[in-house]
Chain A
Amino acid sequence: MNFHVHSGARTLGVIAAVLGALAAVVGTPARFERATSLSATDVVHVAGRERERVSARELAEWIRAGTPSLRVLDLRGDSAFAKHHIPSAEAVPLSMLDSVARAGETLVLYSDDDVRDALAHAWLQASGHRGTYVLRGGMSAWMADVIDPVVAGDSAEHVAALSRYFGGVPRAATDKPADEPVASARATRRSNARASLTPAVAAPDEFENVGRRGC
């Protein structure tokens, strides 16, 4: 091939030709073979799978039962995580999700953003991670259904006990609006319960402390 170009460009051309020819010999690097691509269609498809969503109370049961290989990943960012988070949860940036997740684990993802949850879930699925769940309703559902639940019916006692285990303040559905001093006292108890969640997140023995404080 006759290149009418100066010698620097000719040298670069020769280098490119050599690297290109060697690439043909190498074929496909292993990392390309497991390359992951994700489309909006994938995200919508995964987001619609109700069986891969878990309620706040189901998650609370899993944590309390010490489910093996369970990891709870908080996708909301460091500042929101520092304010309060689900016991045993780890703060994980979306960009680091793939490197944090390990095969064989049961992952539960949560944030307060359905789109973020769906993206993270779809990405993990596309990367080959199975056993991944999204917390339905995110952190708001945890606060409403586990920390500040309104209990009624046959399951009232069970839900109340679960809430107290995590430092929550269950309320009976028949409670009338409380007068000012009682409401103030309740708010203080809830505030204390929330505050107690932050330090009580790392180890199972600390869960026991949360449960005892709640009772």
Chain B
Amino acid sequence: MISPLPLSADAGSGVASAVALGVGIAFGWCLERSGLGSARKLMGQFTLTDLTVFKVMFSAIVTAMLGLFWLSWLGVVDPSRIYVPETFIAPQLVGGIVFGAGFALAGLCPGTSCVAAATGRLDGLGVVGGFFAGVLVMGLLLPAIGGFYASGARGGFTLADVVHVPQGVLVAIVVASALAGFDVAERIERRTARGVGRIGA
């Protein structure tokens, strides 16, 4: 068993920071190479002209899911040591709405805004400043809204815990959904491109 790596502060913050930095750089590089550092490309998701965000994110989900499943099966990864974030339905619903509204308005989410800022895009810098301001405001408001923030705790659970099917079946369903989704996304992109072409002509 070699993974997940014991990268807490106890294990040596220098090593943990170096690994985190390497993973962060790799993640940023992949986002940039996928074109997700551009707000125009991300906005294509909302106008259905460019579904790269959907395809990149769903590819990442499928890759991670297959990797985690098979590496666990091979005994390389111990899934019991992977943190499962807790669910707070109402607070997370509100957070999702705020996040979605910010994403649609700015054309960037936190990760892609960092990539955009790192490549010198002013809109990326603006969004990075915005979310730091949001963090500050949230911190200041926390004493007033702390009750709601921590309300409805449902504990940490996974999709398999909810639907009660074997992990492997769930993996197969998600992979099949992703492949079907990619095909549908391609068709939508072609259709909207033809529509734009006709309008342009």
Using CB atoms and an 8 Å cutoff, list the residues of chain A in contact with chain B.
1-5, 13, 16-17, 19-29, 31-32, 34-42, 77, 93-96, 98, 127
Q: Annotate B171-188 by CB proximity to A: 1 below 8 A, 0 otherwise.
A: 110111011101100100
Which 8 pairs between the two chains have the least Cβ-Cβ distance?
A20-B175, A93-B10, A39-B155, A24-B172, A23-B168, A23-B171, A95-B8, A37-B156
Mostly, the B contact residues are helix
| Besides A1-B180, A16-B62, 10 new A-B residue pairs in contact (Cβ under 8 A), listed by A number | A3-B183, A19-B175, A20-B174, A26-B168, A35-B79, A37-B155, A39-B155, A42-B155, A93-B8, A95-B11
Asked if B70 lies at the interface with its beta carbon under 8 angstroms from chain A, I say yes
List B1-54 residues whose CB lies under 8 Å from chain A. 6-8, 10-11
List B149-201 residues whose CB lies under 8 Å from chain A. 153-158, 160-161, 166-169, 171-172, 174-176, 178-180, 182-183, 186, 190
Q: Which of B66, B78, B169, B172 contacts A31 (CB 8 A)?
A: B78
A residues near B75, Cβ cutoff 8 Å: 31
Residue of B whose beta carbon sits closest to that of A77: B10
Contact (Cβ within 8 A) A16 B79: no
Q: Interface size on B (CB < 8 Å)?
A: 44
Contact (Cβ within 8 A) A20 B190: no
B residues near A22, Cβ cutoff 8 Å: 168
Q: Which of B80-88, B125-133, B138-146 contacts the other chain?
A: B80-88
A30 to chain B, nearest CB (A): 9
Q: Which of B8, B167, B176 contacts A32 (CB 8 A)?
A: B167
